[in-house]
Structure 1
Amino acid sequence: MAEILPDYSGEWRFDPTHTRIGFSTRHAMVTKVRGAFNDFEGAIHVNAENPEQSSVRMTIKVASIDTRNEDRDQHLRTNEFFDAPQFPQITFSSNRVDQVDDGHFMVGGDVTIRGVTKEIAIPLDFIGVERDPMGNLRAGFEGSRRIDRQDFGLTWNAALDSGGVLISDKITLEFEISAVKVEEPAA
């Protein structure tokens, strides 16, 4: 008997315990600093018949930034960087989803950081779908995108003796998403 494929259409919610929304950048021009945001919500609306009618939205709590150094995290929350008290959230809302080829998508939309909204495109790879031991239908996506932090008003820096700067303007956003399908209970 042939296996029945699950219907991927519908709402999917990010599973925060199995999803990483992170970033990396050069520090002192010689090493990388990596971090993540630990408090976020995200959802994907999938239209399997017409992927271009799918959508993605995400809200990140800036205060949840975690670079494994509390002093640095506190500095990143100040008005020299994210200004978490005035701009407590980073948001993304897609305005298009293009299927590039099998399992590869370009998700375009508006990201707002520190009150500045810019359109970006994020390449996402579809990793697969599995039913987990609790019966949830779970999908995986991965992707990354470089942005210039100055485009969003994140301009603080410090000069180095060599003529370089302490923090690179180029930031790599990193997405490792585990999404669970919102399924109606069986009647």
Structure 2
Amino acid sequence: MSNEYAALSGDYTIDTAHSRVGFVARHAMVTKVRGSFDEFEGSIHIDGETPEKSSGKVTIQAKSINTRNSQRDDHLRSNDFLDMDNQPEITFASTGIRQTGDAEFVVSGDLSIRGVTKPVEIAFEYTGTATDPFGNERVGLEGSVVINRKDFGVSWNAALEGGGVLVSEKVTLEIEVSAIKNG
């Protein structure tokens, strides 16, 4: 970020009503299933002059998974997938940030799913800032990353009769954030 971003410096709280943490996974090798997590919270610290000093963290409630199919959601909450009874939270905490373009950044961090923590790099785009009708200063960010769910111990699958598997190993995580500057 250049000096034009200096005014963004500060601490922000993710506005969950206007943000989304979602995912996409291929199903039966032929289509994609999309879903989201409806309960999460997080914070962002932005250093507009030195973006490398910025940071962020998010905590997601595994039970809040929503694919618009209750039977599938119940299966995803089970020990076959997220094991929410034993591992109720999915977390991400940044460990580093680097600017890769005018409004593009790569956020490195530790992603924990099902009690397994692995480093990931999420490509983010700064989508702008605005003051909402209530006087809140907002900042927008969008990002995504492809992970292999087996890396996090989410290994259940079923073979298809004609070959292939029911659920892809690769899952795309999608993050759309509107954050409000604190105080």
TM-score (normalised: structure 2): 0.96
Report the CA distance shift for 1:137/1:75 in structure 2 as closer, same or farther (over 3 A). same
Q: Separation in 1 of the partners of 2:89 and 2:34?
A: 20
Match of 1:75 in 2: 75
Report the CA distance shift for 1:7/1:81 in structure 2 as closer, same or farther (over 3 A). same
Shift of 1:27: 0.3
Shift of 1:160: 0.4
Larger radius of gyration: 1
Q: Separation in 1 of the partners of 2:6 and 2:180?
A: 13
Tell me the secondary structure at the aligned position of residue 143 of structure 2.
Answer: strand
Structure 1 residues not aligned, in runs of 5+: none
Q: Separation in 2 of the partners of 1:6 and 1:147?
A: 33
Match of 1:120 in 2: 120
Contact 2:5 2:48 in 1 (8 A): no
Q: Separation in 2 of the partners of 1:101 and 1:159?
A: 42
Tell me the secondary structure at the aligned position of residue 179 of structure 1.
Answer: strand
Measured against aligned partners, the alpha-carbon deviations of 1:130-171 in whole angstroms (never above 9, x if no partner) come to 000111001111111100000000000001011110000000
Question: RMSD in angstroms over aligned alpha carbons?
Answer: 1.3
1:155 to 2:149 alignment: no
Aligned residues: 180
Tell me the secondary structure at the aligned position of residue 7 of structure 2.
Answer: coil
Report the CA distance shift for 1:5/1:176 in structure 2 as closer, same or farther (over 3 A). closer
Q: Separation in 1 of the partners of 2:175 and 2:46?
A: 18
Match of 2:86 in 1: 86
Q: Which runs of 4+ in 1 moved over 3 A?
A: none
Shift of 1:5: 8.2
Matches within 5 A, 1:89-168: 89-168=89-168
Q: Separation in 1 of the partners of 2:50 and 2:108?
A: 16
Measured against aligned partners, the alpha-carbon deviations of 1:16-48 in whole angstroms (never above 9, x if no partner) come to 111000000100000100000000001110111
Deviates further, 89-98 or 4-13? 4-13
Report the CA distance shift for 1:160/1:68 in structure 2 as closer, same or farther (over 3 A). same
Tell me the secondary structure at the aligned position of residue 73 of structure 2.
Answer: helix
- For residue 176 of structure 2, what is the amino acid of its counterpart? E
Match of 1:172 in 2: 172
Tell me the secondary structure at the aligned position of residue 17 of structure 2.
Answer: coil
Matches within 5 A, 1:50-61: 50-61=50-61
Measured against aligned partners, the alpha-carbon deviations of 1:101-145 in whole angstroms (never above 9, x if no partner) come to 211010001000001000000000000000001110011111111
Higher helix share: 2
Structure 2 residues not aligned, in runs of 5+: none
